A = this chain, B = another copy of it.
Amino acid sequence: MKPRRITHAERTKAEILAVAVPLAARIGLEGLTIGRLADEMGMSKGGVFAHFGSKEGLQVATVEAAFQAFADEVLTPAMAAPEGIARLRALLSGYLDYVEKRKDAGGCFFTAASLEFDDRPGEVRERISGLLAARTELIVEELRKAVARGELQGDPEDIAFEATAISTGANVQFQLSKDPSVLARARALLEARLAAHELKPSKRRAR
């Protein structure tokens, strides 16, 4: 990868996507029309269109930009925490922080996109599915490490399902109700469930 000059076109494209991501989270990837995006950018429809080649191209690029934002805001900082249970806590609480921050911006981009495209085969669905799987795999991997380190006991995939389902369910309820007690309950519950799976240091065995 040679560092390359960022062209003017690339910068414009990035600016369009910075508008498209929160817009799509609010009104959906299908509701995200080229005309509306052009209006909000003060550009012509043709100008916006040219960067993506098709509506589907715009949608795929928006999904990827949304994941980049999620990775920068949640995944990368969490990976800086010590591996095992500490990193796990960072991944889970980071997600809820991400949801809370987007209270009036559609909440979790991927939950909304997932439900919108779960019955529409195509490139957009594949990307959403792949990126969500990558995030789940990160959690499962960290659970495996925590089990291997003797910090936790239980089946990593079961615990990952529990944690992600609670997180996603909290996002859905919070988006509709805007009630902060939903997130408070989710945080307390995730913490309690992690504690329940945790092995007391006295019981840990060396490996």
Report which A residues bind B (CB closer than 8 A): 26-28, 30-31, 104, 106-107, 111-112, 114-116, 118-119, 125, 128-129, 132, 157-158, 161-162, 164-170, 172-173, 175-177, 182, 185-186, 188-189
Instruction: Given contacts A106-B119, A157-B185, list 11 more A-B pairs with CB under 8 A.
Output: A28-B30, A107-B118, A112-B115, A114-B176, A115-B172, A125-B176, A158-B189, A161-B186, A165-B165, A165-B168, A169-B169
The 6 tightest CB contacts between A and B, nearest first, are: A165-B169, A118-B175, A168-B169, A169-B169, A118-B176, A161-B185
Q: In whole angstroms, how far apart are the Cα atoms of A48 and B128 in the complex?
A: 35
Whether B170 pairs with A166 at a CB distance below 8 angstroms is no
Contact A189 B162 (CB under 8 A): yes
A182 to B168, CA, bound (A): 14
B residues in contact with A118, CB < 8 Å: 106-107, 175-176
What's the nearest-Cβ distance from chain B to residue A70, in Å? 16
Q: Are A186 and B165 in contact (CB under 8 A)?
A: yes
Taken together as a complex, chains A and B put the C-alpha atoms of A166 and B161 apart, in Å, by 9
Give the residues in chain B near A172, CB-CB below 8 Å.
111, 114-115, 168-169, 172
B173 touches A164 (CB 8 A): yes
In angstroms, Cα B128 to Cα A94, docked, is 29
Contact B115 A111 (CB under 8 A): yes
Complex contacts, A186 vs chain B, CB 8 Å? 161, 165
Closest to A177 in B: B129
Q: Are B168 and A167 in contact (CB under 8 A)?
A: no
